[in-house]
Amino acid sequence: MAIVFWISCLLLVYVFFGYPLILAGLALVVRKPVQKRKIEPSVSLILAARNEADRIGYRIRNLLSLDYPKDKLQIILALDGPTDGTESVVHCLDHSQLELVHLPWPRGKAAAINAAVKRATGDIIVFTDARQIFEPNAVRELVANFADPRVGGATGELILESGASNEPSAPVGLYWRYEKRIRSLESRIHSVVGVTGAIYAVRRWLFRPLPDKAILDDVMIPMRIVMLGYRVVFDSAAKAYDSLSCCPAAEYARKVRTLAGNYELLAKIPGLTSPSINPIFFQFVSHKIGRLIAPFALAAMFISNALLVHRPFYALLFAGQSAWYTCAVLGHVESLRHASAPIPVVNDPRKAA
């Protein structure tokens, strides 16, 4: 049991602390700067949405106001069978720069993306969501990375905001800053393992249709590009803004979706676990597979520790683990008390009160 405990403990330490430290060390030695410069290729911007009637108008106006040549920017809105009148809001906008792809019944985000890409004419495709807000120069900064012929994809920085301050110190905000730091280091070495779904771009000819019901387009698309021999880089100059999750339940649902999507990736793209096929095998295993193993390692560490509680040292560790999980349960119970509170819709997180 002691061996199980310490293997589990070391695995968790590696995944969440050791791997970032190794990346930081490698980034000092391995330098692969992106040859970024100002270019203005044709761009197709794709926004896939379903029931977003409350915010879609504001979001589209944000995209129409981007600092990019209008004759080189195609905006495609892919509606995945909305039932709340989102399409009616879009029809009221009636802008010549906006193209609508309307799926009559819900088929999933992947199907909406595939349908929109068929209509895309730009050399570069930019993907985004309905919740976020782009800075005016976001697309310009993203596409500048494609001046480097080695770059097949690029992702921007998503800034989570609360009403009080930028990048808050709440647990979700801190974790997101930690995650962005890892992506930045991965990008310096070669490529990020996954992109930010709210703001990323790829060369159109490198896009491959997504499988039906694919969960994580923002990992599947970039990893396919990496496996074709191109880089997918992180650029903090291309910024999008979003608000923090409304409640722990929403953040929990997002995490479950991410973990389920990672399992799907392993099933759909088996080459990801082959060092001869995947150029960033080390990053993928450490970042993605390590996160999948972490919950099992936590359970193994707790159970093995419980079986060793007759030893004073392990009894102390078990008391610490028990206190930690007790706090987590109490926090969850407290969050349920506020779950029924109405959450206002905030169109622009930078203007949240």
Q: Which residue has the higher pLDDT, 295 or 336?
A: 295
Q: Is the pLDDT of residue 318 over 60?
A: yes
DSSP letters along 130-188, please? Answer: SS-EE-TTHHHHHHHGGGSTTEEEEEEEEEEE-SS-BS-SSHHHHHHHHHHHHHHHHHH
Domains of the chain: 2-16+285-336 (no CATH), 32-267 (3.90.550.10)
The whole-number pLDDT of residue 261 equals: 83
Which contacts (CB < 8 Å, 24+ apart) does range 259-263 have?
259/291, 259/292, 260/215, 261/214, 261/215, 261/216, 261/219, 262/216, 262/219, 262/288, 262/289, 262/291, 262/292, 263/292
| Residue 124 near residue 201 (C-beta atoms within 8 A) | yes
* Whole-prediction pTM: 0.85
* Distance of alpha carbon 68 from alpha carbon 20, whole angstroms: 36
> pLDDT tens digits for 137-187?
999 999 999 999 999 999 999 998 765 445 554 566 678 889 999 999 999
Residue for token pair 């920085």: 157
The whole-number pLDDT of residue 345 equals: 46
> pLDDT tens digits for 15-42?
999 999 999 999 999 888 899 999 999 9
Q: What is the pLDDT averaged over residues 273-278?
A: 92
Q: Is the pLDDT of residue 349 over 60?
A: no
* Distance of alpha carbon 35 from alpha carbon 97, whole angstroms: 30
* Distance of alpha carbon 290 from alpha carbon 10, whole angstroms: 12
For the chain, what percent of residues have pLDDT higher than 90? 61
> pLDDT tens digits for 39-96?
999 999 999 998 888 889 899 999 999 999 999 999 999 999 888 888 888 877 767 7
At 352, the pLDDT band (50, 70, 90 cuts) reads very low
At 264, the pLDDT band (50, 70, 90 cuts) reads confident
